[in-house]
């Protein structure tokens, strides 16, 4: 049985990779199959993993006795009727007549998410990042200057500072300010380059993974 | 000059073929390189090594099949290390696709390689819950509000390992392993920073540059892509030589990685030479 699934996996992999040559029916088949399977998978996991244990079992525990007997004898928590109602209202979107009601739960979701994210992002991404940049430029280790860490601190501070200058458009980029702005562009370019390098590594990793599967699990030419 | 034109207009399928060959040949020849853990990876290893035996470590496997080649080697190495140190391992996931991959990890590494460890006492698979960062936010205050059962449907308080845990602050370390959103960033923002819980991560290479700014104050350490996984494997082998004989997928993948990178660099150099040669030719033609 395992061998059959390896063959299915191998043929689907080759179908997807065949797109590199040109668009074809095998690629289209594999693509459609993937979309369909993914949608079904998410739905099934959502129903059995969240909807039953976290909603139905809370409102009416007896209803889940056939799937989650461990929760069937727990006390009901009727406050969960509110989120259940909100969920149902979301589904009204399917109706053209009363679809506007779905905006209420949507507004609740947007409002809660915005409020939650504002606080967390302000703390971690703004204050936290400012703190991470405010570091001593000269680093001493046992009374002696630690050259490596000092260099690292200067590069970090200089990179952030000149990068910010590049994005400061209220003053013309001339003279010392213009020079610092140019350094800022270089910092940004190096950052993009590093990002590109990492992206290449990620894509090659995926290719290596597939080749290991084809050459190892399928053809048995290599040991994994 | 005809050669430059030919190179400039090369069929992209030839480039694809070169990349595929640069991956296949090192795989067949089993080319590997020596890896050494960089400080950002070693920090994670040292933290796990320094935690007292029996510490509670939450592993959040937030990835899907598309990033298995990059993330799975990290997960396997971490699970081995945590078990070697006799820590309590809590598996969970913010991605629905992570649930099946967690089960595979539990079956193929945790249960198979450490049969003496007892489910529900030494490790637990909590599975997936919807909610993304909202889920982390709830877990920070009350874990059992969302996780009423484990992945098998066992009531959460019937599991010995879960009894002392009330919320995320009950963990000594959280390790997010993932390839996108929600993932490590959300663990930092919604658990690590507000709860003052050490957070470490293992991410896909694409995401790694976005996470570096959090290191070392907000993120304890980071395994970036397959290179990070290989470094962690090498550190594990250094401390626990028995793993030298076991599968080292991260280290094995670095051989084809290096060769493919050299090929890509060659293409970049050839592309630039062609560009400048053409520009020089055009300049000459204008001068005439």
Please write the tens of the pLDDT for every residue from B57-87.
Answer: 999 999 999 999 999 999 999 999 999 999 9
CA angle A204, A205, A210 (to 5 degrees): 95
CA-based nearest residue to B92, from B41, B133, B169, B151: B151
From B148's Cα to the closest Cα of chain A, the distance in A is 7
From B286's Cα to the closest Cα of chain A, the distance in A is 31
Contacting residues of B for A156, CB less than 8 Å apart: none
B55 three-class SS: coil
Contacting residues of A for B29, CB less than 8 Å apart: none
* Residue B253 to residue A205, Cβ atoms within 8 A: yes
Q: How many A×B Cβ pairs under 8 Å?
A: 153
Residue A59 contacts B, CB cutoff 8 Å:
no
Domain ranges for chain A: 1-76, 136-224
Strand segments, DSSP code E, in B15-74 are 56-62
From B118's Cα to the closest Cα of chain A, the distance in A is 20
Question: Is residue B5 scored above 90 in pLDDT?
Answer: no
Contacting residues of B for A79, CB less than 8 Å apart: none
Residue B247 pLDDT = 76
Question: Is residue B115 scored above 70 in pLDDT?
Answer: yes
Calpha distance B3→A144 (Å, rounded):
58
The two tokens of residue B36 are: 């050494």
Residue A56 contacts B, CB cutoff 8 Å:
no
* Residue A116 to residue B137, Cβ atoms within 8 A: yes
Confidence (pTM): 0.91
Calpha distance B38→A183 (Å, rounded):
28
* Residue B256 to residue A204, Cβ atoms within 8 A: yes
Best A204, A212, A218, A220 member to test B by mutation, with max B CBs in 10 Å, is A204
Question: Is residue A164 scored above 80 in pLDDT?
Answer: yes
The residue to which tokens 């039953």 are assigned: A52
B118 three-class SS: coil
- Return the higher-pLDDT residue of A143 and B167: B167
Give the closest of B99, B194, B206 to A199, CB-based.
B206
Give the closest of B24, B128, B264 to A49, CB-based.
B128
* A76-105 residues touching B, CB cutoff 8 A: none
Calpha distance A181→A169 (Å, rounded):
10
Calpha distance B40→B232 (Å, rounded):
10
Calpha distance A181→A168 (Å, rounded):
9
Residue A198 contacts B, CB cutoff 8 Å:
yes
> How sure is the predictor about B157, in pLDDT bands with cuts at 50, 70 and 90?
very high
Q: Is-contact B172 B51, C-beta < 8 A?
A: yes
pLDDT, tens digit (0-9, with 9 covering 90-100), for B23-40: 999 999 999 888 999 999
Contacting residues of A for B154, CB less than 8 Å apart: 70
Residue B193 contacts A, CB cutoff 8 Å:
yes
* Residue B20 to residue A50, Cβ atoms within 8 A: no
* Residue B209 to residue A121, Cβ atoms within 8 A: no
Question: Is residue A63 scored above 90 in pLDDT?
Answer: yes
Question: Is residue B2 scored above 80 in pLDDT?
Answer: no
The two tokens of residue B229 are: 């996984």
From A22's Cα to the closest Cα of chain B, the distance in A is 9
> How sure is the predictor about B188, in pLDDT bands with cuts at 50, 70 and 90?
very high
Cis peptide before A25 (omega within 30 of 0): no
* B28-87 residues touching A, CB cutoff 8 A: 28, 30, 66-70
Residue B1 pLDDT = 61
Q: What percent of chain B has pLDDT over 70?
A: 99
Beta-carbon count within 10 A of B1 CB? 8
Give the closest of A41, A125, A208 to B256, CB-based.
A208
> How sure is the predictor about B288, in pLDDT bands with cuts at 50, 70 and 90?
low
The arithmetic mean of pLDDT across residues A181-190, rounded, is: 95
Q: CB-hemisphere CA count at 13 Å for A194?
A: 13
Calpha distance B128→B151 (Å, rounded):
8
Question: Is residue B223 scored above 90 in pLDDT?
Answer: yes
Residue B9 pLDDT = 84
Calpha distance A8→B257 (Å, rounded):
27
* B141-170 residues touching A, CB cutoff 8 A: 146, 148-149, 151, 153-155, 158
* Residue B213 to residue A124, Cβ atoms within 8 A: no
Element (H, E) at B91: strand B88-93
Contacting residues of A for B98, CB less than 8 Å apart: none
Give the closest of B137, B217, B253 to A208, CB-based.
B253
Residue B111 pLDDT = 96
Calpha distance A181→A9 (Å, rounded):
51
The residue to which tokens 């009423």 are assigned: B148
Element (H, E) at B144: helix B143-146
Please give the mean pLDDT across all residues of chain A.
93
Q: Which residue from A minimizes the CA distance to B150?
A: A49
Bridge partner list, B89: B57, B123
pLDDT, tens digit (0-9, with 9 covering 90-100), for B198-221: 999 999 999 999 999 999 899 999
Question: Is residue B229 scored above 80 in pLDDT?
Answer: yes
């Amino acid at each position: 049985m395992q061998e059959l699934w390896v063959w299915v996996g191998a043929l689907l992999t080759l179908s997807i990779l065949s797109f590199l040559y040109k668009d074809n029916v095998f690629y289209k088949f594999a693509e459609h199959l993937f979309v369909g399977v993914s949608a079904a998978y998410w739905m099934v996991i959502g129903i059995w993993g969240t909807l039953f244990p976290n909603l139905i079992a809370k409102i009416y525990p007896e209803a889940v006795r056939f799937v989650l007997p461990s929760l069937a004898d727990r006390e009901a928590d009727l406050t969960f009727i509110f989120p259940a109602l909100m969920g149902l209202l979301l589904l009204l979107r399917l109706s053209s007549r009363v679809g506007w009601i779905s905006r209420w739960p949507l507004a609740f979701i947007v409002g809660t998410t915005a409020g939650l994210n504002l606080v967390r992002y302000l703390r971690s991404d703004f204050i936290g990042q400012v703190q991470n940049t405010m570091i001593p430029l000269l680093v001493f280790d046992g009374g002696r200057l630690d050259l490596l860490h000092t260099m690292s601190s200067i590069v970090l501070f200089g990179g952030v500072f000149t990068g910010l200058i590049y994005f400061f458009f209220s003053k013309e980029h001339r003279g010392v300010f213009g020079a610092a702005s140019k350094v800022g562009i270089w910092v940004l370019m190096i950052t993009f380059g590093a990002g590109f390098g990492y992206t290449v590594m990620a894509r090659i990793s995926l290719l290596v993974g597939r080749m290991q599967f084809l050459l190892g699990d399928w053809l048995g030419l290599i040991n994994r | 000059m005809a050669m430059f034109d030919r190179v400039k207009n090369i069929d992209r399928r030839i480039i694809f073929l070169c990349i595929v060959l640069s991956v296949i040949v090192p795989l067949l020849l089993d080319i590997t390189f020596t890896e050494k853990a960089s400080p950002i990876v070693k920090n994670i290893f040292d933290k796990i090594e320094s935690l007292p035996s029996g510490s509670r470590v939450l592993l959040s496997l937030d990835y899907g099949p598309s990033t298995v080649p990059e993330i799975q080697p990290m997960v396997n190495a971490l699970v081995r290390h945590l078990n070697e140190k006799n820590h309590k391992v809590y598996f969970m996931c913010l991605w629905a696709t992570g649930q099946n991959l967690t089960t595979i990890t539990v079956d193929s590494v945790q249960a198979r390689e450490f049969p003496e460890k007892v489910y529900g006492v030494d490790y637990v698979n909590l599975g997936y819950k919807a909610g993304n960062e909202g889920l982390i936010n709830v877990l920070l205050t009350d874990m059992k509000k969302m996780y009423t059962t484990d992945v098998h449907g066992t009531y959460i308080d019937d599991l010995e390992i879960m009894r002392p845990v009330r919320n995320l602050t009950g963990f000594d370390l959280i390790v997010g392993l993932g390839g996108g959103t929600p993932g490590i960033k959300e663990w930092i923002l919604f658990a690590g920073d507000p709860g003052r819980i050490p957070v470490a991560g293992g991410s896909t290479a694409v995401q790694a540059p976005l996470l570096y700014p959090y290191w070392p104050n907000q993120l304890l350490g980071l395994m970036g892509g397959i290179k990070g996984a290989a470094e962690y494997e090498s550190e594990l082998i250094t401390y626990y030589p028995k793993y030298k004989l076991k599968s080292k997928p991260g280290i094995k993948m670095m051989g084809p990685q290096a060769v493919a990178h050299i090929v890509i660099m060659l293409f970049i150099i050839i592309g630039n030479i062609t560009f400048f040669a053409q520009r020089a030719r055009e300049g000459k033609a204008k001068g005439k």
